[in-house]
Amino acid sequence: MDKFYNETYRKLEAAIQEQEIEIDCLLLRSETIIHLIVNCLSEVKEYVQKRGFKNICCN
């Protein structure tokens, strides 16, 4: 699971950096980055829903 999260985070960081270089308009860049983050969170949610967590600890 850590591998999935790390890879997802790495891809998100790269996509954000790419948008920061390509888009000059701050508002458009912000909207695009928010869209990238929402998509990334949706992927993580889907992954967790399918596979669950390894273990649950509450201490």
Q: Give the pLDDT means over successive 10-residue stretches in the chain (59 positions).
A: 90 96 95 97 94 73
In a domain, 36, yes or no: yes
pTM of the model: 0.81
In a domain, 59, yes or no: no
In a domain, 44, yes or no: yes
- What residue numbers bound the domain in which 37 lies? 2-51
Q: What is the 3-state secondary structure (H, E, C) of the chain?
A: CHHHHHHHHHHHHHHHHHHHHHCCCHHHHHHHHHHHHHHHHHHHHHHHHHHCCCCCCCC
In a domain, 57, yes or no: no
For residue 59, what pLDDT is reported?
A: 59
Give φ, ψ of 58 to 5 degrees. -125, 70
Indicate the number of domains in the chain: 1
